[in-house]
Amino acid sequence: MKLEQFDQSAILVSDERRDRFAASDALRLRAHSVIPGGAHTYAKGDDQYPVLAPGFIARGLGCHVWDVDGNRFIEYGMGLRAVGLGHAFPKVVSAVLREICRGNNFTRPSPLEVDCAESLLEIVPGAEMAKFTKDGSTATTAAVRLARAYTGRSLVALCADHPFYSYDDWAISTTPMNAGIPQDISDLTLTFRYNDLPGVAAMFSAHPGRIAALILEAAKDAEPADGFLAGLRELCHRNGALLIIDEMITGFRWPQHSAQRHYGVEADLSTFGKALGNGFAISALVGKREIMRLGGFDHNRDRVFLLSTTHGAETSALAASLAVMKIYRSEPVVETLERQGRRLQAGIEDAAARHNVAEHFQLLGRSSNLVYACRDRNGALSQSFRTLFLQEIIRRGVLAPSLVVSYSHSDDDIDRTVEAIDGALGVYRRALEDGPETHLVGRPVQPVFRRRATPAPRVTRPRKQSRSSPIDRALPVVSP
């Protein structure tokens, strides 16, 4: 055993971690010394995974990834849903390689910018203009700025049931991680609940003539109630506000490649990304011409500085996006995602029923976009049980912060995943009886959006312990 210290508290790290994840542990120490949080995306941070987990992924192919220690995993979540086709998907890689050999960024626009915009607009109902950028946050923030300019209003309302739209102040001000955001900025953002039209109507009544736009995902873990999206659009327009739909996740994962098209609703503005580039950095803002044109110069109103980034339309990402959209038009990608998702869901639900944990381990969301909820013996959501589940599936060769499938997940991959989860749920069942701490190595995972930070790891000299020492069986101590 060795002792790894987190400031005033300590966790025990087993020989299993030392043996399987030695290279990750060494790299982790370097990462935390030069990168705040040790990663460039909070959802990829150490606090989101158990102690017994790979720290760094070296490569991926299809739905399989290899960490820096050479451990192989079947991956789900696929780069936070950005890799819909599979890692290093050959047709996408070939398109990118061809383009970067011609140069990746020029002084004037590339013709690919026009081709890519036209191709994307074919997918989004009612959208007439597009603007590309690198990540979802800049796209949604541009939509909010545009809505405020178009309406001449200051307030924006976001759906509180969909917790992340942007790292910018207007959105993060509604989370517990709002340090550094002035109250005057926070006061400009309102919240509403999903599937609650009366609540939205009351919000408009409480702020007459002041709300520029509402933003939400068309669907997430729950489906929209009958008439909700159409009713939301009608309420927005009746009150002079715009409807913004964030399709970062639903785009290229829902039927017809767009939740708007699937549910039969047209947003005034919408945002796309993630699977649009199959892992390459590209996102987009699309919308009605009369609104989007404010970011151009063919009008007589005040101009909006909409999106203008050095790398916003680099040719490698545009080539990836064009290849992705071509594949989606010619191959049954979404149908495969849904079929494999249903196969996975059925297998897991059978395993949960067999282990009598169906009320404690639950699958949520559309089959192509499954997430899971881990509950304790009292039915409360539990980070400890989530950590235990992650730990046990990782032990069995599956890396799954969610259960979001890709086009590359084969029947064999699904079957092996179900087998791994079946084993993990057996441990889960025992933990419901004798406590997760009996089976868990190290501290539990933490929510991304929390006010206080968990201190970064600091390693001390290992203590020499015999394998039969009582410290092997001690309960890990973790800071609150």
467 residue type, one letter:
R
Instruction: Report the C-alpha gap between 444 and 385 in whole angstroms.
Output: 8
The pLDDT of residue 3: 32
Confidence of residue 284 (pLDDT cuts 50, 70, 90): very high
pLDDT(115) > 90: yes
Contact 20, 72 (CB under 8 A): no
Strands (E), 167-231: 189-192, 211-216
Strands (E), 180-268: 189-192, 211-216, 242-247
Closest by alpha carbon to 92, among 413, 328, 369?
328
Same domain, 469 and 351: yes
pLDDT(472) > 50: no
Same domain, 311 and 162: yes
Same domain, 55 and 173: no
The pLDDT of residue 299: 86
Q: In this structure, is residue 479 part of a structural domain?
A: no
Record the tokens describing residue 255, joined without a space: 């039927």
pLDDT(469) > 60: no
376-403 residue pLDDT tens: 999 999 999 999 999 999 999 999 999 9
Record the tokens describing residue 112, joined without a space: 């690919």
pLDDT(424) > 70: yes
395 residue type, one letter:
R
Mean pLDDT along residues 332-348: 98
Out of 275, 306, 330, pick the residue that ends a domain. 330
List Cβ neighbours of 106 (8 Å cut-off, separation of 6 or more). Answer: 315
Average pLDDT of the chain, as a whole number: 90
3-state helix, strand, coil in the chain (%, to 5): 40, 15, 40
Confidence of residue 14 (pLDDT cuts 50, 70, 90): low
- This prediction has a pTM of 0.88
**395: domain CATH number?**
3.90.1150.10
Diameter of the chain measured on Cα atoms: 79
Same domain, 361 and 261: no
224-260 residue pLDDT tens: 999 999 999 999 999 999 999 999 999 999 999 999 9
Total domains, the chain? 2
Same domain, 315 and 439: no
The C-alpha R_g of the chain, in whole angstroms, comes to: 24
Same domain, 288 and 384: no
Q: In this structure, is residue 168 part of a structural domain?
A: yes
Bridge partners of residue 158, in order along the sequence: 191, 215
The pLDDT of residue 462: 32
Instruction: Report the C-alpha gap between 190 and 210 in whole angstroms.
Output: 11
Q: In this structure, is residue 480 part of a structural domain?
A: no
Instruction: Report the C-alpha gap between 327 and 165 in whole angstroms.
Output: 27
Structural domain including 174 reads 90-330
Mean pLDDT along residues 297-325: 92
Contact 273, 165 (CB under 8 A): no
Closest by alpha carbon to 263, among 307, 286, 229?
229
Same domain, 350 and 455: yes
Same domain, 63 and 94: no
Residue that the structure tokens 């210290």 belong to: 5
The pLDDT of residue 13: 52
Q: In this structure, is residue 299 part of a structural domain?
A: yes
Same domain, 312 and 337: no
Same domain, 324 and 342: no
> Percent of the chain at pLDDT above 90?
78
Out of 308, 330, 352, pick the residue that ends a domain. 330
The pLDDT of residue 305: 87
pLDDT(467) > 50: no
CB neighbours (10 Å) of residue 230? 15
Coil, strand, or helix at residue 36? Answer: helix
Of the candidate ranges 5-9, 59-63, 178-182, the one whose mean pLDDT is the lowest? 5-9
The pLDDT of residue 474: 26
Out of 283, 306, 330, pick the residue that ends a domain. 330
pLDDT(478) > 60: no
Instruction: Report the C-alpha gap between 165 and 140 in whole angstroms.
Output: 7
Instruction: Report the C-alpha gap between 421 and 414 in whole angstroms.
Output: 10
Same domain, 228 and 298: yes
DSSP state of 46: G
**275: domain CATH number?**
3.40.640.10
Same domain, 197 and 109: yes
The pLDDT of residue 44: 86
The pLDDT of residue 461: 31
pLDDT(429) > 60: yes
Mean pLDDT along residues 396-411: 98
